[in-house]
Structure 1
Amino acid sequence: MTTSSEKLVVVTGASTGIGRATAEELARRGFHVLAGVRGNPDAIRARGIEPVLLDITVPEQVAALAERVATRPLHALVNNAGIQVNAPVETLPLDEWRHVFEVNLFGHIAVTQALLPNLRNGRVVNISSVGGKVAMPTYGAYAGAKFALEAVSDALRREGVRVVVVEPGGVRTEMATRGIATANNLAAAMTPEQSARYGTMVLAINNLMAEGTGAGVTAGQAAEVIAKAVTTRAPRTRYTVGRDAALITLLTRVLSDRALDQVIAARLKRSERQHARGATDDLAASGLQRFPGCFGER
């Protein structure tokens, strides 16, 4: 239980990756963190960290979290939970589309609605993505949910709620590995015609995802940016995480849609050629050359 002197923060999706690193960083800074986990709570239990069983798509667990904090004001809610599912728009089953939006959008809205009565003097920190700024091939569902989360964040802010959006690029966590495995499973279910049309593209995107994640920042570095969003007295409305995210955000502002399409297509073709001959990307250290392989962040 918290003491009267501790500020209370909720972090969803705190079992691994950015969520766990954020919970640990905020606890180090003296906050009492309610860390939402779906698995073994003892894996993250530590001084200043109180694990709570939380699948943000399960209404009963969201209600239990709201009851846990009902008598205490919250300093911040960090909406971090998320999944990555990649497949071409044509081939991704509608049930998968709905699942991505349930976790990456509607679950965050459910938690936010439940906790807003305790956040009147606090803030909401939504962990979006550079994928909330530009939608890559096979990222339709993931980017669609992130674009929507950005829009919801804007609406909330204009309704009088203090909202900060954090947009990571490549971050070295398990999320990209899981995303690649999911993408391969979905690709295996494509029809022969779909495989002929999209198979090379899926492989190129998977390669870029692996490269971008491997060259990305650590979860701890991402957590420091999120902690800044939580603790700064007058935070910006948006923070990027990593050089690649900052660069891609800039490109979306200065390039036309057609020009951005050409940059993406050229990068995919380069990846296809490199991996066809077994080469590595000798320009991976450059933010521009990592683009667009940097959307797996948790």
Structure 2
Amino acid sequence: MTTSRECGEASGGIVVTGASTGIGLATARELAHRGFHVLAGVRRESEAEALRAPNIEPVIPDITDRDHITALEERVGGSLRALVNNAGIAINAPVEALPMSEWRRQFDVNLFGHIAVTQAAARAATQQEARSQLHLDGGRVAMHAYGAYAGSKFALEAVSDSLRRELASQGVEAIVVAPGAVKTNIAMDGAVTADRIVAAMTADQNRRYGPLMQAIIAHSASFTTNGTPAGEAAKVIAKAATTRNPRTRYTIGRDAAMLTRLSRALPDRLLDRFLAFLLRPHYATGRKAQVHG
């Protein structure tokens, strides 16, 4: 494996977590098409068999399980080109109404699991002469009811910044890829979780947050339905993972680029109002006045 190779040449394996569906699946296939051997992380044996293809080797790691990560590290050995940290879950609910067990589950998967995999990948990367690249999915804007999800992503971006500075002298890159709306099943999965959380709310919480939660579910469904195709997102990730001189950050979709710029340029109160404006059309008739911001 050598840093001088361009993205069309295979030079070491690439690990993609969360490759069962959506962005992860499309990324695994895109990288395999470019000639790289991909270790594609899935959750079930049935998904592994469906994904198996030339240059794609399914693995079944639970990124919150230490033994699974150890097994993945042993499988990777000393041949790692890149790690694409894509696995994740979305648990959306108001800060007050989200049980602590759900906060911990969100951070276990979206933050601590990724850190554990990254630690294993960093050991493999720094033992090689060639440069590997570690990709972390970051975020900069937290909408209503996205406290836990965005919190885990903000933390992951901070970890990536620190990691990039720590590994720079060793020739290892840490890159943040921040997608906007992408056509995946995450909205459907998130809606099921949100419905479960709403059902467990107290009567007072339902009175204060019920309309907001329904608007969030509707917004998320619209957001992903009209988003960037997963295949297009995969091309951005594949380029970031394999180009000779990668940027430190990439965005996917115009919405992600716009929100990133606005978060830097707008005062907090003005950004609050803008996010409330985006959410307002998704409230049920007669409930638009409930939008806060």
Q: Structures share a fold, TM > 0.5? A: yes
1:143-222 aligned at under 5 Å gives the runs 143-160=150-167, 161-222=172-233
Residue 133 of structure 2 is aligned to residue 123 of structure 1? yes
Aligned partner letter, 1:28: H
Aligned partner letter, 1:169: G
Contact 2:11 2:81 in 1 (8 A): no
For 1:60, the equivalent position in structure 2 comes to 67
In the TM superposition, residue 127 of structure 1 has moved relative to its aligned partner by: 2.3
For structure 2, list consecutive stretches of 5 or more residues without a partner in the other structure. 1-9, 287-293
In the TM superposition, residue 263 of structure 1 has moved relative to its aligned partner by: 1.2
In the TM superposition, residue 218 of structure 1 has moved relative to its aligned partner by: 1.0
Aligned partner letter, 2:160: S
For 1:281, the equivalent position in structure 2 comes to none
Contact 2:13 2:81 in 1 (8 A): yes
2:261 to 250, 258, 268: 250
For 1:276, the equivalent position in structure 2 comes to 285
SS in 2 for 1:216: coil
For 2:290, the equivalent position in structure 1 comes to none
1:8-47 aligned at under 5 Å gives the runs 8-40=13-45, 41-47=48-54
Residue 57 of structure 2 is aligned to residue 50 of structure 1? yes
Aligned partner letter, 1:105: L
Contact 2:175 2:249 in 1 (8 A): yes
For 1:282, the equivalent position in structure 2 comes to none
Aligned partner letter, 1:87: A
Could you give the per-residue CA deviations for residues 16-44 of structure 1, whole angstroms, max 9, x where no partner exists?
11111100000000000011111121111
Give the number of equivalent residue pairs.
267
Could you give the per-residue CA deviations for residues 195-225 of structure 1, whole angstroms, max 9, x where no partner exists?
0100111111111111111110111111000
Give the TM-score taking structure 2 as reference length.
0.89
1:231-270 aligned at under 5 Å gives the runs 231-270=242-281
- When the two chains are superposed, the root-mean-square deviation of aligned CA atoms in Å is 1.2
